[in-house]
């Protein structure tokens, strides 16, 4: 489990288009990531207080999101504002959804499950990000960190080169080889599963390098999933 205060990536920014929503997991906790029509990202608990429908199945209407099941509408603060079956009802303030911080940096959407989130704690690779892809991988955070520490990266016009690796924050790394710089931010999805959100930083040229890094990432997933998981030691041993 990551520390409650840590900023955690939940998606690449470009994947959540204005007016859309998607589900995300952090250590098994179900979240909805949605973007209003003006482009602001929101991250909430993925559960309607009425009958528990996932809000990630809902519809974005302007700066509100409406539940798929009975159409209750929630404003950007998570407060229910409209119940279609009772259009004249002044909705009680207690009908609201838990909301979390949502910030974007380096082409990645981040959240922090603590209430007093300080955006200074979000990792920053200091450059212009080009999205590559998100990978869901059956391995632990520790396995990924160990493999990335000795990774090689695609570079323009030559074979892969060993990368210099800097840990920006636990679970976030900057890998550099030649002119290739990539940021990888890991999301703890569930026990034994993580998501790696990958962006190129200050990429030059056309689409060749992003494609090469996307292929590299796919091979990385295969390598990570081939590493045997450590055998848990029983507490009585």
* Residues that bind ligand FES in the complex, under the rule CB under 6 A: 48, 50-51, 53, 67, 69-70, 72
Q: State which residue, 59 or 69, has the beta carbon closest to ligand FES.
A: 69
Q: State which residue, 72 or 173, has the beta carbon closest to ligand FES.
A: 72
- Cα 88 off chain centre by: 38
E strands, the chain, are 7-12, 21-26, 29-35, 41-45, 59-61, 64-66, 73-74, 80-82, 99-100, 103-105, 108-112, 129-137, 152-155, 158-162, 164-169, 172-177, 180-190, 193-201
Q: State which residue, 38 or 51, has the beta carbon closest to ligand FES.
A: 51
Q: What is the DSSP letter of 55?
A: G
Residue count of the chain: 237
Q: State which residue, 25 or 53, has the beta carbon closest to ligand FES.
A: 53
| Residue 183 CA: distances (Å) to CA of 25, 72, 226 | 21, 39, 23
For the CB of residue 82, give the shortest distance to ligand FES in the complex, in Å: 10
Q: What is the DSSP letter of 64?
A: E
Q: State which residue, 52 or 170, has the beta carbon closest to ligand FES.
A: 52
For the CB of residue 28, give the shortest distance to ligand FES in the complex, in Å: 21
Q: Which of 182, 186, 108, 110 is nearest to 142 (CA)?
A: 186
Q: Which of 94, 99, 95 is nearest to 113 (CA)?
A: 99
For the CB of residue 81, give the shortest distance to ligand FES in the complex, in Å: 12
In 3-state terms, what secondary structure has residue 146? helix
For the CB of residue 69, give the shortest distance to ligand FES in the complex, in Å: 4
For the CB of residue 80, give the shortest distance to ligand FES in the complex, in Å: 9
Q: State which residue, 50 or 96, has the beta carbon closest to ligand FES.
A: 50
For the CB of residue 58, give the shortest distance to ligand FES in the complex, in Å: 8
């Amino acid at each position: 489990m990551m520390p409650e205060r840590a900023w955690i990536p939940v998606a690449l920014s470009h994947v959540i288009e204005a007016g859309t929503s998607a589900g995300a997991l952090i250590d098994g906790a179900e979240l909805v990531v949605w973007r209003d029509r003006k482009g602001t990202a929101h991250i909430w608990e993925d559960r309607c207080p009425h009958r528990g429908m996932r809000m990630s199945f809902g519809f974005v209407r302007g700066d509100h999101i409406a539940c798929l099941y009975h159409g209750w509408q929630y404003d950007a603060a998570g407060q229910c504002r409209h119940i279609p079956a009772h259009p004249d009802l002044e909705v009680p303030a207690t009908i609201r959804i838990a909301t979390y911080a949502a910030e974007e940096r380096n082409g990645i959407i981040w959240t922090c499950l603590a209430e007093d989130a300080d955006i200074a704690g979000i990792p920053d690779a200091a450059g212009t990000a080009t999205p590559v892809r998100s990978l869901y991988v059956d391995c632990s955070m520790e396995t990924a960190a160990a493999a990335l520490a000795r990774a090689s990266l695609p570079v323009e016009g030559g074979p892969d080169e060993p990368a210099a690796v800097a840990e920006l924050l636990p679970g976030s790394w900057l890998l550099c080889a030649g002119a290739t710089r990539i940021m990888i931010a890991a999301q703890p999805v569930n026990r034994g599963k993580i998501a790696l959100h990958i962006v190129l930083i200050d990429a030059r040229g056309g689409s060749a390098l992003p494609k090469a890094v996307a292929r590299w990432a796919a091979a990385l997933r295969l390598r990570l999933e081939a590493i045997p998981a450590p055998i848990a030691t029983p507490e009585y041993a």
